[in-house]
Amino acid sequence: MIPSDLDILARPVAHLPFVRAVVDQLGLLEHIEERCPTHKLNRVSDAQCVLALVLNVLCGRPALYRMNEWLARLDTDVLFGEGVPADAFNDTRLAEALDHLDEAGTDTVLADIVRAYLAEEGEPRAFSAHHDTTSVVLQGAYEMEAEPRPAHGYSKDHRPDLKQLIYGLTLHGSTGIPLVSTVSAGNTSDPTVARDHLARLVEVLPDEHEVTLVGDCKLVDARTVGRLFRAGLHFLSLVPDTFNVRQELIREAWATNPNAEDWPLLAEKKGRKKDDPTTAYRGRSFVRPFKTILETADGDDGTTSFEELRFLVVWSDDLASGFDDALEPKLVRDEGKLREAAKRANGRGFACEADARTAAERVASKAEFHRATIELVSEDVPIKRAGPGRPKKDDVRETRAVWKFELTLERDEELIAATRRRRSCFVLVTDWHAEDWDDARVLAEYRHQHLVEGHTGFRWLKGPAAVAPVFLKTPERIRAMGLVLVLALMVRNYIQTTLRSELKARGETLVHPFTKKKETSLTPEMAFEHFGGLLTQVLTLGEHTRRTPVRLSDPAIQILSLFALDAAIFTPPPPIGTRKWRRRSKQTPGM
């Protein structure tokens, strides 16, 4: 018989205690608590507020308002500690925590966390760091002058009507851990963002580490390369299309060997489906001088030199096939564009042959894949009579010569072939010598750029982690919220890296929560599904209270073992700073 005074309180927690344990393993809250000590009048600390925001993001609930109502439905004792009330996490308190985080310095807090991570035993001392920038659009007026200032600029989200901010991000190449994050005004140029980002990265990296910065074409700049050399960093980047050296090297590579199939094979990529063809990457490298500027301490132009850099011309049969598939529609559009332009240009005709030829040549110059043959014709057109009334029967109507042109279009096979060769290639540049990094490794490192561009970087931040700008009405909160999102990304990527690397090291697989297939490369979101529906239960009988054990599925137990965790994470954690859950000392690449 059940006692009448027995009280059973069941509250959902799902995967959030697991995320909290990983946060403790990374020591995030310790560093925030050190920089933002708890005020005696606050019921919850700034670190706990940041934890609440991180849990909110990793729970897939990208709304930062009414957080206290959301937390009231969860077991806050398990997430934040014994006796922490949900109503303490109101909008005002969270906004105050963001202000305190900015006062402590978002760069300083992140640098503390990153330095502690890189100093852990077993972490590699030589690695690549992947850098990129993106724009984040904001709704609203945002009439503020302080930096970072929302402003109109080149929108990578294709929303030029909205103001934006420029986010910069650098990820650890083997683990995806964010190393540096920056927020700049919406109209800041890419080279300026890259140099500011580089300065902050250098402050974080230990001197004994050998780091290669990998990025897109925004790194290829005389001053930026000079700063990389001065900082003692290696670099690898994509050469912009606007650089003459890119076109020259592609022409030289094809002139040296006109058959791309004979170029050295650097890498192969299987198609997404079994029937999809395999993509081959072939390439040839060249050494060329590149202008660099070593600026003075004041930022003025200092020493200018020409450094010998290595350029790798890469041919991709996937790019070549893409060009071939799009060629016929392009030819149709090109021809239609030329004929429409010729029709508009002819109009009422031209007064002389020279004007008609000039107009015809102007239209023909717009041809992309056609060779245009110009034919000039003239005809006599009656001149309008000066006076009114009908002309006399024997009057001779005056005429004038009007010139027009006709275009005969044919495919320019030579131009098409040259364009195909150019568009099926891209060029990489690095300061690594061939004896240290061969061409295959240079290409492999650049292909890992998807870490910062894809679901472990901007695609995740601008997708599942995107939040409404509730607290972002001041630049201070913009910066602080940017740090919170980066910390959430750090936790997510650490979970993914550890999950995949430990499965590989143990030779194990994990069941997919939906397809039930055994996988070795699940995302954190899929792993979280194995904790779905988990509840904690607290039994109260009189003055006695007992927390019952949670019932975990076999995949959930396996996931916890990969992180050296157990079911004890579903009990209230110790105070911040004691780090009950220690992370494994050695990580292996597994993104």
Spell 13-44 as b/e; 16+ CB within 10 A means b: bbbbbbbbbbbbbbbbbbbbbebbeeeeeeeb
**Could you tell me if 79 and 13 are in contact, meaning their C-beta atoms sit under 8 angstroms apart?**
yes
Residues 140-194: tens digit of each pLDDT? 666 666 667 777 887 777 788 888 888 889 999 888 899 998 878 778 888 888 8
Taking Cα atoms as reference points, which of 162, 165, 163 lies closest to residue 184?
A: 165
Residue with tokens 């760091």: 129
Q: Which two tokens stand for residue 536?
A: 């904690």
Residue 564 Ramachandran class (φ > 0 left, ψ -120 to 50 alpha, else beta): left
Confidence band of 6 (pLDDT split at 50, 70, 90): low
Residues 214-238: tens digit of each pLDDT? 998 888 988 899 989 988 999 999 9
Confidence band of 588 (pLDDT split at 50, 70, 90): very low
Query: What pLDDT score does 17 carry?
Result: 95
Residues 423-471: tens digit of each pLDDT? 999 999 999 999 999 999 999 999 999 888 887 888 888 776 765 444 4
Domain chopping of the chain, boundaries? 6-106+475-570, 238-382+397-445
Chain centroid to Cα 567, Å, comes to 35
In single-letter form, the type of residue at position 533 comes to: G
Query: What pLDDT score does 583 carry?
Result: 64
CB atoms within 10 A of CB 581: 20
- Please state the φ and ψ torsions of residue 303, each to the nearest 5 degrees: -80, 130
Q: Which two tokens stand for residue 50?
A: 């940041």
**Could you tell me if 34 and 590 are in contact, meaning their C-beta atoms sit under 8 angstroms apart?**
no
- Please state the φ and ψ torsions of residue 267, each to the nearest 5 degrees: -165, 160
Residues 472-500: tens digit of each pLDDT? 567 788 788 889 989 999 999 999 999 99
How, if at all, do strands 279-294 and 518-519 pair? unpaired
Query: What pLDDT score does 129 carry?
Result: 93
Query: What pLDDT score does 470 carry?
Result: 42
Number of residues that make up the chain: 591
In single-letter form, the type of residue at position 561 comes to: S
**Does pLDDT of 107 surpass 80?**
yes
Q: Which two tokens stand for residue 308?
A: 């010998």
Cis preceding-peptide flag for 148 (omega within 30 of 0): yes
Q: What is the distance between the alpha carbons of residues 177 and 168, in angstroms, rounded to a whole number? A: 14
**Could you tell me if 184 and 165 are in contact, meaning their C-beta atoms sit under 8 angstroms apart?**
yes
**Does pLDDT of 66 surpass 50?**
yes
Which element (helix H / strand E) includes 135? strand 126-138
Q: What is the distance between the alpha carbons of residues 415 and 321, in angstroms, rounded to a whole number? A: 17
Confidence band of 281 (pLDDT split at 50, 70, 90): very high
CA distances from residue 58 to 15, 53, 477 in whole angstroms, order as listed: 9, 9, 20
As a whole number, the mean pLDDT across the chain is 86
Residues 6+ apart with CB under 8 A from 392: none
Lowest mean pLDDT among 95-109, 132-146, 373-387: 132-146
- The fraction of the chain above a pLDDT of 90, given in percent, is 49
CA atoms within 13 A on the CB side of 152: 5
Q: Which two tokens stand for residue 497?
A: 């890296």
Residues 234-264: tens digit of each pLDDT? 999 999 998 999 999 999 999 998 998 899 9
**Does pLDDT of 392 surpass 80?**
no
Query: What pLDDT score does 28 carry?
Result: 93
Query: What pLDDT score does 18 carry?
Result: 96
**Does pLDDT of 109 surpass 90?**
yes
Which element (helix H / strand E) includes 243? none
Residues 295-331: tens digit of each pLDDT? 766 666 678 889 999 999 999 999 999 999 999 999 9
Which burial class, exposed, middle or buried, applies to 248 when counting CB atoms under 10 A from its CB (0-12, 13-18, 19+)? Answer: middle
CA distances from residue 74 to 210, 286, 466, 527 in whole angstroms, order as listed: 45, 60, 22, 20
Beta-bridged to residue 345, according to DSSP, are: none
Query: What pLDDT score does 473 carry?
Result: 67
Looking at 299-352, list the stretches that DSSP marks H as alpha helix, in order from N- to C-terminal side: 317-346
